[in-house]
Structure formats: C-alpha cells, structure tokens
Structure 1
Amino acid sequence: MTAVEGELGAAGLRRLRESRGWSWADLARALRDTARDLGIASPATLPVSSIQRTVARWESPADRTKPGDRYQYLLARIYAKTSTGDWDLGTGSDFAKLLDVLRDFGTAPQRIDRLIDSITHARPSPRNPARRADDLVDHLAVTVADLNQQVGSTPFVRLQLQLAPVLDACRTLLTGPKPTIDLLILATDAYALAARLAFETRDDDVAMALYRDAEATAARLPDRSRLAAVLTSHTMVTLHATDDLNAALQLARAATVDAHRGSSHAIRARAHAVHAEVQARAGDPSAAATALDRAWKTVDQLSVGDPFAAFNADRVSGFEGLCALYSGQAHRADDLLTRSLTSLTGARDAVQRGIGATDLALARLGLGDAAACVTLLHEAVDITATTGGRVPAQRIGRARRHLRPWREESFVAELDDHIHDTLLGR
C-alpha cells in the first residue's frame, strides 16, 4: 500500500463512520456485535477498547494500516445495511462507498469481487422473497463444496469469512418446522468445515463448539456415515489442538460405532484408520494393528458410488505408515508413507502433503539418513508456507527436535534458516 492509497483509504473510512454519527467506540461495538452474531471468535471476544485502537489505526494516514480480510467482511456486513436495518447494496450506498474505500487502500479486485459475492449471498433476495428453500439449500451446498475445495490454496481466514453467511443461513433455515435431509446434510458440512477452519486459525474453543453443532445436526440424519465423518475430523482436531489422547480415543471409538451404522465403507475405513493412529500414539500397537486390519478389510469393499470414496487404500497406507513410525518400524514406515505421499496429487491434498512429507522425513531419519530427512522437511516448509496448515507446522517443529544430534551440520543450519525466513519471519 502506497502513502497515497493509505491517505485516501483512511479519509474514506473516517467519512463513512462520521456519516452515521459514530465515534470510534461506536464502530468498534458494531464490529464486535456483528462478529458475535456471525460466530467469528475474533474480534467477538476482544474488548471494545482494543477494537477501537484498531479502527483508529485504519483512519491514521501515517499508520498506513488497512483492515484485514476478517474486518473487511465485518465492515461490509455493517455498511451493507442502512441505519434502519434495511439492506442497501446499490450505487451511492454505504456499501458501495466502502468498496471504493477498500479500492483506495489498494485491495485486489479479486478480493473485492469475493466480498461482493459473500454479501450478496448473505442478503435476502428482494426480487424473489418467496424463493424456495430447497433452491437456496442447493445454492448454499454448492458454495460449501467450492469453499471446501479451496482449503490449502486460499487463506483460511478468507474461507472463514466466505463461509460465515452460509452458517448464518443454515441456522435460520434449521429453525423451520421440519428440516429436509438436504438441509441437514448442508448444515452438517458447513459446521464441520467451519470447525476445521476455526482450528486452522487457532480458535480452538469455537472449533469444538462448531463440531458439537455438526454432530448434533448429523445425528438427525437417518444414515450415520456423515456423523462418523464429523467425529473422525473432531478426533484429529482434538488430538492436535489439545494432545488429549483420552478425549481423542473416545471420539475415535464413537466414530467407528456410527460408521458401522452408516452405508459408506470409505467412512468406515477412515474411522478405523483414525482409531488406529490414536491407539498407536497412545502406545498400544496391538490395538492399532487390529484397527488397521479392520480398515484394510473395509476399504476393499469400496464402491464407485460412495460419496466419501476419496478415502481409499492409499490413505490407509498413510495411516499404517504413521503407526509403523510410532512403533519404531522405520523401513516399513518409509515404504508405506512413500506410497501415500505419491498419491497426494490433488489441489485439495496440499495440507496433507505437508503432513505426509514430515512423517516421511522422520522415517528417513529413523533409517539414519538425516540429510534425506532435511530434504523432505524443506519441501514441507514450502508447502506449509503456501497452505498455512497448522498440523504440518506442528509436525515440522517435532521433526526439527529429532534433528538435535545433527545440529552442528550445515544442512540443519540451512533448514533452520529456511524455517525462520519462510514460516517465522513472515
């Protein structure tokens, strides 16, 4: 952002605020309250005084600070409505003026387009107030599926903001007398994705609450496969957010029970594979082996029409390789993790590739090849810098600790520089 852009944007934000007769504190309260209504943990949990200082920085040309993605969306939600609460997105509206302000701040056109799209989806359609609920559900389902495909290629905060109006719509639709199956599936998927995104942005309390919402909604579906899918995701997030093996084990067991009540063999295989990983981490290789055997037997029954068929034999290999790694079987872990990593070629697999690369790096270290370990960690660092994945970042730190005996080697020093410059120094 140039000095001129900063001055224009700051002046425009100040004019918008003053046109409503608001002080900095008034706008700060509006931002906090809107965040609370939408379930956006930050700034919902911040004191007004803290948000007020942020607003003041935006309006200071000398500070050259512009609203980030999260605040841009909240400002858009605020200025998309008039002081009387009516939606107004037309020419000359406060919303249109805000978009001009964001352009003055140097915001990319693609970001402006996504912001317009998000607010348009959040607004009730004035042209068709009787729009059928099932059409709306179909539209929202496509939106959730599209956002889900962007995980790993679009910043998590941006995905959160685009998902917020979908969550808002789901909550409203679920208050109806008898939610349809399609609505329950949509809401389950939206809550589960929101939980994953909250975890990635380190809003763990919000993530856990959203998982509970997803599970409560999925429990209303006649097929338990979706509930099992949510529980497996909840298991892994609990494991990585809290290191609470007992809590993770309870969730993993519940997932296997519900998976066997559902129709998807892919989800059944995933539930057993996740259960195996938790058992391996807990130091019970026998229980892990039993769970893996069940995963392999189930994955052999996969059918083409299974909606969760992305979880396949290659994914089971990854889980088995990780279990082998935990039990000290470096050669076996190397073979299995190599097979799994080679299969992760899709854009949606980027975060998992970062995780798999660090796991394989530890297997190579277990084989005594520290240099090969470091080569894989360089790859994982680059992937993690692009995706922002929280779990691969944790895994990189863990792998680096295992490299302490080689800390005097130049290749470890180069890795440290890469981690600092790419992940810590950004």
Structure 2
Amino acid sequence: MGNRAAGAAALKRLRHSRGLSLAGAARALSQIAVALHHPLLPAVASVQRSVARWESAKPTLPDERYQLLLAHLYARTPAGQLSVGTGSDLAELLGALVDLGESENRVALLRTALIRTATETGGMLALLSTPVQADLSAALIDPSQVTEETVTGLAAVVADVNAHVGAVPMGRLQVLLAPVIDACRRLQAGALPVPVIGHVRAVAVAACSLAGRLAFENRDDQASRALYAAATAQAELLGDAWRRASVHMSHALVTLYSSPDLADTRLLVDQAVRAARTGDSIRVRARAHALQAEVSARAGLERQAQAALGLAWYDIENQAGGDPSGSSFSAGHLRGFEGVCELYVGDPSVAHDRFALAAAALVAPREQVQRAIVRTDQALARIRMGDPRSAAELLHECVVATATTGGRVPAIRLRRARGELRPWRREDFVAELDDHLMDVLGA
C-alpha cells in the first residue's frame, strides 16, 4: 500500500506543479484527447472524479486511455517544450504509474509511444531534461562551461536511443541521436575543462558507433563508414581498448552484410579481438571471440571457429560483476553464434537446437532484432535438415518480426533463407510465404 500512496502523492505533486486544480486537470486531459483525435472524454465533472480517485487515500490506477493522455500532458514542460528523458515530469509520471500497480512493460511501451511523438514533432533534444538542455545551450556557446552533469545527460540520450533499437523506427532514432553527435563535435572544438575531456570522447565514441549502425540499417553505407571512422578515431584518443574493440565489432557486423568480400569483415574482427584481449571488459572479449568464430565458420574454417568459440565460453563463464562496458552479451547470445558455426561447418540439427535455445533466451525488447536473426537462421537449419515446409512456417514468424523491428540484417537473412527454398518454389507453402513477404515487406 505504501507504493500506491507514493504513486498517488506523485500524481498530486505533478498536478500542483502545473498549477492545475482537479477541474483544470480534467479539462487539460479532455483537450489533449481532442488534439489527438481520440474519442471524446466524458463531462469534465466525471473526468474530475477520476483524477480525484487516482490521488485519493485509496488510489486507483488510471486506465490505459487516461495513462496515454496523462503521458502527453506531462511530456511537455509548462512552457510547451517536449521533455521525455531522465528527470522529466514524464519520468515521474511513469514511476507513479508503476507505484500504482502498472506493469514495467506497459510503462516502457508508453514511454516508447512518447519518444515516437518527439521524433514526429521535431523534439530532437526531448531526451534531455530541461535543466540539462539549458546547461548544454550555455556550454555550446562556451565549451569551457560544460559540466559533468551535462555530459552525463548526453550519454543518457545515447543509451536511451540504443535501448529503443527494434522498438522505434531506425530513421527516427537517427533524428534523436544527431544532436548528440553535433554537440560532441562542437564541444570538442572549444577549450573543454580537463576533467570532462575523456567523458565527452566516450560519449562521442558511443554516439558515432550507434549512428554508424543506424545509418547502415537505413541503407546509407557511405555515411555508416564515415561514422565508424569517427568513432574509431575518438576511441583511439580515449585509449580504452574495450571501447575500440566494440567499435570494430559493430563495424564488422555491418560490413559483413554490406561488403561482398569476407576479408573486409575478418580484418575488422581481428582488430576487435586484439583490442579486446588488452581491454578490461570480459563481455566485450567474449563477443569478439564469438564474432571471430562466426567469420571463421563462414569461411569454412572449422578448427579456428571451434577454438574461438571455446575462448568465448571461457570468457562468459569467468566473467565477474561490474563489467565496464555495460554490455548485455550473454550465454544466450553465444548459443546463437554456436548455431551459426554449426550451420556452416557442422551439423544443421545441432545448429537448430542451439538457435532454439538462443531464441528462448532473447526476450527483452532490445533483443528482438537479434531474436529475429536467430529465428531466421533456425529456419535455414530446417531447410538443410530436409524439412522445408517446417522452415517456411517458421519464416512466416520471421517476416512479422522483421517488419516489427525494421532491422536490415534480419531482412537480408530472411531473403537468403527464402533463396534456399528455391527447389520447392512450386509448392503451395513457398507461394504462401512469398505472398506474406510481398504483403508485409514488399519483397
């Protein structure tokens, strides 16, 4: 009950901070419903009673319709500026909804909806809290005035954008990330205080690397290469080996799908492994070895692939807490790499089982792009096991997942899997898959 009381108190505090009476809040929610072209709310007096119940001694949870309207109300500052990041009124509202009993998943979906709104209405700095926006504006005029809090705010935006890959269209995420890259560039052009130089460079590495990935996803390979080059240069200045390894790995993955020559990818992976071995992040080292295993398997080098997998498992099994990278790379991800290796230089039935285990472990919203890739590879394993009909059934699920995440890599994997169904192209199950591909992806 203590949490529910805290949630009710937070809703009342938010309302009072806007100078709204109960009736005023009711009118504001009604106006937002009209502006969003939602069904009209009941009479103001009825909505007012609902607002009062949410803030009462025995509070109730607003229903989903009212949650969305409240989110739109508090996603804007009193001056009308969008603000949906850490420290915003929206963040306080979402915390209050959790206290009142709403699920974390529903609250995350609600915030994603407001981030989509921010990209539609040009709120490119909406992920920064209002104080940080003001501090950043001053720092861009005079970089010597930049503070750790301002740079931490920029880092939080990069992390926020990264967390929404797969949930928000890639083009919209690029819009949210662009101001951070520009801010880092402008800050570094001035005389930064010595204590923040490394922090600004770390943000630039993360922002440029993620932007390189997003540019690739949006089929702008030239921009992607330029952004990865910028990320690599910043990482070298920073001197953190694990950051340099992370940039090389991200670049290697997009190169794998944008360059016809596997040697280009292998060069980047080898650079990543060398950097990771001297770095402080065991998870980054594990991922580098896993990627090395995949590239070796694709080249038909079974012994090298198995050796690299062994090193990756050693890293995963011996990791300690507090990894500096914050990487989420886990045993579930590594099983996916094991499956790819079995697919190319091993037993497709073993690959299939590895992919099934990996897919079952990849359940977080941020992992849906990876899950779509794994499930598509699982279908490919079924084809190679001589079960094309079952593979086509699984690919229907992959079509939906690819459309939902908007990922370029799942789409490429999907097309390759469909290509392997060519011997059965006259079968009804392949024709149905082609229809689904055309309907959903236009390909």
TM-score normalised per structure 2: 0.68
Q: 5 Å matches for 1:319-338? A: 319-338=337-356
Q: Shift of the alpha carbon at 1:128? A: 11
Q: Determine the structure 1 residue equivalent to 2:162.
A: 148
Q: Determine the structure 1 residue equivalent to 2:75.
A: none
Match among 250, 269, 288 for residue 252 of structure 1: 269
Q: Determine the structure 1 residue equivalent to 2:215.
A: 198
Corresponding letter in the other structure for 1:155: P
Contact 2:140 2:186 in 1 (8 A): no
State the identity %: 44
**Partner SS, residue 124 of structure 2:** helix
Q: Deviations along 1:254-273, whole A, 9 cap, x unmatched?
A: 10000011111100010011
Contact 1:137 1:183 in 2 (8 A): yes
Q: Determine the structure 2 residue equivalent to 1:215.
A: 232
Corresponding letter in the other structure for 2:356: T
Match among 273, 278, 282 for residue 295 of structure 2: 278
Shift in alpha-carbon separation, 1:337–1:111, aligned structure 2, 3 A: closer
Q: Deviations along 1:227-252, whole A, 9 cap, x unmatched?
A: 10111111111111113211111110
Contact 1:195 1:210 in 2 (8 A): yes
Match among 174, 177, 188 for residue 174 of structure 1: 188
TM-score normalised per structure 1: 0.71
Task: Provide the rounded CA distance (Å) in 1 between the counterparts of 2:350 and 2:151.
Answer: 46
Shift in alpha-carbon separation, 1:309–1:194, aligned structure 2, 3 A: closer
Task: Provide the rounded CA distance (Å) in 1 between the counterparts of 2:162 and 2:416.
Answer: 28
Shift in alpha-carbon separation, 1:226–1:119, aligned structure 2, 3 A: closer
Task: Provide the rounded CA distance (Å) in 2 between the counterparts of 1:410 and 1:128.
Answer: 61
Shift in alpha-carbon separation, 1:197–1:286, aligned structure 2, 3 A: same
Q: Shift of the alpha carbon at 1:181? A: 2.3
Q: Shift of the alpha carbon at 1:117? A: 3.0
Aligned length: 320
Q: Deviations along 1:345-373, whole A, 9 cap, x unmatched?
A: 01011111111111000111122211221
Match among 137, 142, 145 for residue 125 of structure 1: 137
**Given the alignment of the two structures, is residue 382 of structure 1 paired with residue 400 of structure 2, yes or no?**
yes
Task: Provide the rounded CA distance (Å) in 1 between the counterparts of 2:216 and 2:118.
Answer: 26
Q: 5 Å matches for 1:58-69? A: none
Shift in alpha-carbon separation, 1:403–1:304, aligned structure 2, 3 A: same
**Given the alignment of the two structures, is residue 238 of structure 1 paired with residue 251 of structure 2, yes or no?**
no
Task: Provide the rounded CA distance (Å) in 2 between the counterparts of 1:110 and 1:194.
Answer: 17
Q: Determine the structure 2 residue equivalent to 1:55.
A: none
Corresponding letter in the other structure for 1:144: V
Q: Shift of the alpha carbon at 1:109? A: 8.5
Shift in alpha-carbon separation, 1:109–1:214, aligned structure 2, 3 A: closer
Task: Provide the rounded CA distance (Å) in 1 between the counterparts of 2:176 and 2:411.
Answer: 24
Shift in alpha-carbon separation, 1:126–1:180, aligned structure 2, 3 A: closer
Cα RMSD between the aligned structures?
2.3
Corresponding letter in the other structure for 2:361: S
Task: Provide the rounded CA distance (Å) in 1 between the counterparts of 2:160 and 2:190.
Answer: 26
Q: Determine the structure 2 residue equivalent to 1:293.
A: 310
Task: Provide the rounded CA distance (Å) in 1 between the counterparts of 2:341 and 2:290.
Answer: 10
Corresponding letter in the other structure for 1:384: T
Contact 1:149 1:348 in 2 (8 A): yes
Q: Determine the structure 1 residue equivalent to 2:97.
A: none
Task: Provide the rounded CA distance (Å) in 2 between the counterparts of 1:127 and 1:261.
Answer: 35
**Given the alignment of the two structures, is residue 418 of structure 1 paired with residue 436 of structure 2, yes or no?**
yes
Contact 1:302 1:309 in 2 (8 A): no
Corresponding letter in the other structure for 1:205: Q
Q: Shift of the alpha carbon at 1:136? A: 1.6
204-213 or 277-286, which deviates more:
277-286
Shift in alpha-carbon separation, 1:112–1:286, aligned structure 2, 3 A: closer
Contact 1:223 1:261 in 2 (8 A): no
Q: Determine the structure 1 residue equivalent to 2:361.
A: 343
Task: Provide the rounded CA distance (Å) in 1 between the counterparts of 2:122 and 2:354.
Answer: 46
**Partner SS, residue 137 of structure 2:** coil
Corresponding letter in the other structure for 2:186: T
Q: Shift of the alpha carbon at 1:180? A: 2.4
